[in-house]
Structure 1
Amino acid sequence: MSSIDIRHIVFDIGRVLIHYDPHIPFSRLIPDDAERNWFFANVCTHDWNLEQDRGRKWEEAEALLIEAHPDRTEHIRAFRKYWHEMVSHAYVESVAIMETLIQQGHDVTMLTNFAADTFKEARKLYPFLDMPRGVTVSGEVCLLKPDLAIYEKHANDFGLTPAHTLFIDDSAANVEGARMAGWNAVQFTDPEKLKSDLAAHGIAL
């Protein structure tokens, strides 16, 4: 067991609390696997989508792609239109862990790479996102994990002491970013490992 006194627990959201997969609606819109994979590799790419997480408006993002790929206009607009299908379900066990931590009196916040408008939609779909004390949304602050600045902003805004903070994220890069900011951090793979990681940091459920 760690000798560190954990006073603050920070959750990522996508692929920790909520499932995210853009292939869900696009498997219907572009049924051919090869064509769909080409579309995500060349049109609505991960890097393109990440700029919305950094704060770029969807209208601007769509316009850029439509100019470059006018024949793909319908599919480009479909990315935002059917976004709600991409977040198809919550990870019930992970959410239960977060709820238990809150009920036990732990200080729980969230730090997420998320576009501002889709996060508002996510809150309506998943009311448990309002349970923690607060959240830093990358699209609202125009900073992205794993940039050091977003961890520092979250800590400053919520009064967290980095050395007494534990961060939970599915991305190895984001976990390393938190450690660079002086936080303790664990990579999420499944709820059982999360329970074990919490126990290793002195937090019993």
Structure 2
Amino acid sequence: MTNAIRHIVFDIGKVLIHYDPDLPYKRLIPDEAERQRFFAEICTHEWNLEQDRGRTWEEAETLLIATHPDHAEHIRAFRQHWHEMVPHAYEGSVDIMLGLIDAGHDVTMLTNFAADTFAEARKRFDFLNRPRGVTVSGEIKVIKPDRAIYDIHAETFGLDPAASLFIDDTLANVQGAIDAGWQAVHFQNAKTLKADLERFGLST
């Protein structure tokens, strides 16, 4: 590798903790076709992403209920049952992150997350408090893969982008980090992450 890695930056959702909006809705909307239509047309990924960008849940719910009043209960259920969408951590990748910290590496986190649900996650998953710090999109109102969020994170935590390794499960976010001058790897599972880290000369 051309640059030695001095900073390791983890994404959170689907890297350290599991996230699946379908989990509570399998109970709330048992019919699969109806449930898929609900996510495709009402509580869409794009709608939820705006909460990651800093929009309040109250604003988000009001917006959708105005156009889909018959679905008000299911729209409000998204936030009400959010805790069911994040049922567990990925022990393998959490162990890797904690091992890097214990080995003396500089570890931070950079995540697309609504501010209030991140605060909830931090209470439930104590390992989220172990890294040196975190940039939460909902707090700064910028989301990955916007170039600004990588620059803000680097400036906030004093990172040299060329010496920073970003780990994310979404290819667009990995590319966003590369475009910002970072090094980055696409997270698939703990085994491939361990191999990726070894390629960069990092061990836990």
Hey, what does 1:160 align to over in structure 2? Answer: 159
Per the alignment, residue 82 of structure 1 pairs with: 81
Q: What is the rounded CA distance, in whole Å, between the counterparts of 1:204 and 1:60 in structure 2?
A: 44
Task: Tell me how far apart the structure 1 counterparts of residues 203 and 14 of structure 2 sit (CA, whole Å).
Answer: 23
Give the letter aligned to residue 97 of structure 1: I
Question: Which residue number corresponds to residue 35 of structure 2?
Answer: 36
State the superposition RMSD in angstroms: 0.5
Distance 1:117 1:139 in 2: 8
Q: Which runs of 5+ in 1 are unaligned?
A: none
**Map of 1:59 onto structure 2:** 58
Inter-partner Cα distance in structure 2 for 1:102 and 1:94: 13
Q: Distance in 1 between matches of 2:3 and 2:181?
A: 13
- Normalised TM-score (structure 2): 0.99
Is 1:192 aligned with 2:177?
no
Taking the aligned partners of 1:133 and 1:101, their CA distance within structure 2 comes to: 12
Structure 1 consecutive aligned stretches of length 4 or more whose deviation exceeds 3 Å? none
Unaligned runs of at least 5 residues, structure 2:
none
Give the corresponding residue for 1:116.
Answer: 115
- Partner of 1:143, secondary structure, is coil
Q: Distance in 2 between matches of 1:162 and 1:50?
A: 25
Give the SS at the match of 2:108.
strand
User: In percent, how many aligned pairs have the same letter?
Assistant: 67
Over residues 138-185 of structure 1, what are the superposed CA-to-partner deviations in whole Å (9 max), with x where a residue is unaligned?
Answer: 000000000000000000000000010000000000000000000000
The one-letter amino acid of 1:11's match is F
Deviations 1:89-147 (A, max 9, x none): 10000000000000000000000000000000000110100000000000000000000
Structure 1 position 204, deviation (Å): 1.8
Does the 8 Å CA contact 1:12/1:168 hold for their aligned counterparts? yes
SS in 2 for 1:136: strand
Number of residue pairs matched by the alignment? 204
User: Could you say which residue in structure 2 is the equivalent of 1:172?
Assistant: 171
Provide the rounded CA distance (Å) in 1 between the counterparts of 2:21 and 2:161.
34
Q: Distance in 1 between matches of 2:77 and 2:88?
A: 20
Deviations for 1:39-76, whole angstroms, at most 9, x for unmatched residues?
00000000000000000000000000000000000000
Deviation at 1:3? 4.2
Correspondences of 1:129-168 after superposition (within 5 Å): 129-168=128-167
SS in 2 for 1:168: strand
Report deviation, 1:4. 2.1
Distance 2:46 2:13 in 1: 16
